[in-house]
């Protein structure tokens, strides 16, 4: 689905160019949850922003279903994102005065979805993430864990192929963090994948299929996560979300 070939990126710093990523190559396969881990400043967010076409590589190729998306115009990138990607951020980025449902509906409107469909789908997704009773609550009244669940519903409303999450549990306690990761885990199935940046290696090992370790802008290690023994559980929980939650 997603292939990075020898991606490099530098930023100007006081007259110099600081190379943040040095020839990174990796792949994101359908149905997989890929965790990108590594120390602060190792280039994780830079890498995720390149995958999300929020920024462009200086060198290397970025292929989505075989199509080179690294050099698209800004407007072509914007429509690529709207059609294929869903974003989840550390600070949730909800509109605090809108209800949970309105936050999700707004994303659907931006994705040009039919209004009636959007309203219904927003309700279904909020139920899926365990917020059936908070649909009409203003986002500002929700807890951090609840806000991130709204953000997950919002990321899903336009049926993205790839969900990108940068430190989605960075502001959550352990219990809420595990709940959010379990939800992300369940979204990585069929032809949908999830790529997540985290500094929490323990969570990555529990929930990810693959762990990419970045150090100083280079991939130091690619390893299988702890999901291999959990297929049975995962199947059951996917099934549960298909048949009326
Ligand atoms: N827009 C930018 N302009 C200049 N430097 C940047 C920019 N974004 C990131 N950097 C630098 O790139 C390095 C990697 O940053 P980042 O990708 O945010 O790391 P991480 O997410 O792993 O903490 C850091 O040294 C940071 O200061
Ligand atoms: Mg970061």
Residue among 46, 52, 58, 90 whose CB has most ligand 1 atoms within 8 A, to mutate = 46
DSSP-derived secondary structure for 121-153: HHHHHHHHTT-TT-TTSBGGGS-HHHHHHHHHH
Look at ligand 1, atom 2, and give the residue with the nearest C-alpha.
11
Return the best residue to mutate from 8, 18, 41, 199 for the ligand 1 pocket (most ligand atoms within 8 A of CB).
41
Closest-approaching ligand to the CA atom of 43: 1
Q: Cα of 41 to ligand 2 centre, how many Å?
A: 7
- CA gap 144, 130 in Å, rounded: 14
Q: Is 144 exposed, middle or buried (0-12, 13-18, 19+ CB in 10 A)?
A: middle
Element (H, E) at 24: strand 16-28
Q: Quick one: 150 exposed, middle or buried, by C-beta within 10 A (0-12, 13-18, 19+)?
A: buried
DSSP state of 53: T
In this prediction, residue 149 carries a pLDDT of: 93
Thinking of the domain 2-95+162-242, which architecture would CATH place it in?
3-Layer(aba) Sandwich (3.40)
Q: Which pLDDT score, from 0 to 100, does residue 176 have? A: 86
Given a cut of 70, the residues of the chain with pLDDT beneath it are 227-245
Atom of ligand 1 nearest to the CA of 166: 21
How far apart CA 114 and CA 194 sit, in angstroms, is 26
Question: Which sequence spans correspond to the domains of the chain?
Answer: 2-95+162-242
CA of 47 to the centre of ligand 1 (A): 10
Q: How far is the CA of 20 from the centre of ligand 2 (A)?
A: 12
Closest by Cα among 52, 60, 53 to 10: 60
Question: What is the pLDDT at residue 52?
Answer: 96
Phi-psi region of 140 (alpha: psi -120 to 50; beta: other; left: phi over 0): alpha
The pTM for the full model equals: 0.87
Q: Is 90 in the pocket of ligand 1 (CB under 6 A)?
A: no
The SS3 of residue 47 is helix
pLDDT digits 0-9 by tens, 175-211: 888 988 998 999 999 999 999 999 899 999 999 999 9
Ligand 1, atom 9, residue with closest C-alpha: 46
pLDDT of residue 90: 87
- Which whole-number Å values give the CA distances from 25 to 20, 60, 63, 85, 148, in the listed order? 14, 9, 11, 20, 30
User: 136 and 122 in contact (C-beta within 8 Å)?
Assistant: no
Ligand number nearest CA of 217 is: 1
pLDDT at 227 (0 to 100):
62
Number of the ligand 1 atom closest to the C-alpha atom of 38: 22
pLDDT in tens, 146-171: 999 999 999 999 989 999 999 999 98
Q: Indicate if ligand 1 lies below 6 Å from the C-beta of 102.
A: no
What pLDDT shows up at residue 231?
42
Q: Dihedral of the CA atoms 114, 119, 125, 130 (nearest 10)?
A: 170
Please report which ligand is nearest the Cα atom of 50: 1
């Amino acid at each position: 689905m997603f292939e990075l070939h020898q991606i490099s990126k530098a930023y100007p710093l006081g007259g110099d160019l600081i190379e943040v990523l040095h020839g990174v190559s990796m792949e994101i396969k359908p149905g997989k949850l890929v965790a990108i881990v590594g120390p602060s400043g190792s280039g994780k967010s830079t890498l995720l922003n390149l995958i999300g076409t929020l920024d462009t590589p200086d060198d290397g190729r970025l292929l989505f279903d075989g199509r080179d998306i690294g050099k698209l115009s800004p407007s072509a990138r914007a429509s690529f994102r709207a059609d294929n990607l869903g974003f989840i951020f550390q600070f949730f980025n909800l509109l605090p005065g809108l209800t949970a449902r309105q936050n999700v509906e707004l994303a659907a409107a931006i994705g040009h979805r039919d209004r009636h469909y959007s309203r219904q789908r927003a309700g279904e997704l909020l139920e899926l993430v365990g917020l059936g009773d908070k649909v009409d609550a203003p986002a500002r009244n929700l807890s951090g864990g609840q806000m991130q669940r709204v953000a997950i519903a919002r990321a899903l409303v336009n049926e993205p192929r790839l969900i990108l999450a940068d430190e989605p549990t960075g502001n959550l306690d352990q219990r809420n963090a595990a709940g959010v990761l379990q939800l992300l885990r369940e979204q990585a199935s069929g032809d949908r994948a999830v790529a997540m940046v985290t500094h929490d290696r323990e969570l990555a090992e529990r929930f990810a299929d693959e762990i990419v370790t970045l150090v100083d802008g280079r991939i130091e290690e690619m390893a299988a996560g702890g999901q291999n023994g959990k297929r049975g559980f995962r199947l059951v929980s996917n099934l549960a979300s298909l048949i009326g939650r």
